[in-house]
């Protein structure tokens, strides 16, 4: 057996152990983040919005500090909740993102969409306006603002 033939299985074994250790470390890092989000979901179901929002914010703050959550991943998480019908959790996640990344047009746009889906039109318009302020080229947000404002006026007549 050549030295290379002896070394390959040892190298493969070392790589597999390293990979397992990395996954284990990531799981340990993500566990508090995941638990806080699950607690937030549960609290929203119970109607305890204030504590639920605090739990979601705490989890996301921990995730950002641990380096496992950034603006894009938080935004994607918000849409995941939104698309699965968990609108209040989505709004909490996307509100955190806006608070954490206040200069992000996309974060404000996403929050605007969640608020619109929740029927919170005035808040949605404000969020979309902030998105347009940060990105004057956001034509979709401009159209949605115009549409919601027309619908509001039509509803008042």
Residues of the chain short of pLDDT 70, as ranges, are 3-4, 7-8, 10-11, 14-15, 17-30, 156-157
pLDDT at residue number 80: 94
Per-domain residue ranges of the chain: 27-156
pLDDT at residue number 34: 84
pLDDT tens sequence across 78-91: 999 999 999 999 99
CATH of 27-156, one of 3.10.310.30, 1.25.40.10, 1.20.1560.10, 3.10.450.50: 1.25.40.10
pLDDT at residue number 1: 72
- Are 71 and 100 within 8 A, CB to CB? yes
pTM for this prediction: 0.80
Residue 135 backbone zone (phi > 0: left; psi -120 to 50: alpha; other: beta): beta
């Amino acid at each position: 057996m050549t030295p290379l033939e002896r070394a390959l299985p040892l190298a493969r074994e070392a790589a597999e152990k390293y990979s397992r250790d990395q996954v284990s470390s990531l799981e340990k890092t993500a566990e508090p983040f995941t638990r806080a989000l699950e607690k937030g979901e549960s609290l929203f179901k119970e109607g305890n919005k204030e504590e639920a929002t605090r739990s979601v914010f705490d989890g996301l703050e921990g995730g950002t500090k641990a380096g496992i959550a950034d603006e894009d991943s938080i935004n994607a998480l918000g849409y995941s909740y939104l698309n699965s019908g968990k609108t209040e959790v989505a709004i909490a996640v996307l509100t955190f993102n806006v608070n954490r990344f206040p200069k992000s047009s996309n974060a404000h746009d996403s929050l605007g969409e969640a608020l619109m889906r929740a029927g919170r039109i005035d808040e949605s318009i404000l969020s979309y306006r902030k998105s347009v302020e940060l990105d004057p080229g956001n034509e979709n947000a401009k159209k949605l603002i115009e549409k919601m404002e027309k619908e509001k006026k039509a509803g008042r007549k």
